[in-house]
Amino acid sequence: MVKKLFLGSFVFSSLFAVSLIADDWTGFVGDSMCGAKHTGAGKGDTACAQKCVKGGADAVFVTGGKVLKFDAASVASAKEHVGQNVKISGSLNGDTVTIASIEESK
């Protein structure tokens, strides 16, 4: 019983600690070919980013003038938002974003 209580407390504490590490960013999901040339979800930027990703370019996150990649687990979520301004909660390792949540931002 004590082991289960200890293990449960440890798991809960670990999950809480991970949520404290998560960061939030706003930016644009664009494409690796154009990178920071697209800064928002205007008609031209959206169409270009979507076309480039459909053509094989990687989805990237443009925020604060920086172009960040998505980790393998986050690519599918990112591709659903190509051409959109978004708010991302997640973590950053170097220049790679791991998405915990992503939603359209206006």
**Residue 86: strand pairing partners:** 27, 104
Q: What would the pLDDT profile of 10-57 be if each residue is shown by its tens digit?
A: 544 444 444 446 799 999 999 999 999 987 888 999 999 999 999 999
16 in a structural domain: no
66 in a structural domain: yes
> Contact, 81 vs 30, CB < 8 A?
no
Distance CA 72, CA 22 (A): 18
Range of the domain at 99: 23-104
| pTM higher than the cut 0.95 | no
Number of domains in the chain: 1
87 in a structural domain: yes
63 in a structural domain: yes
5 in a structural domain: no
Q: For residue 57, what is the enclosing H or E element?
A: none
Question: In 10 A of CB 56, how many CB atoms?
Answer: 9
57 in a structural domain: yes
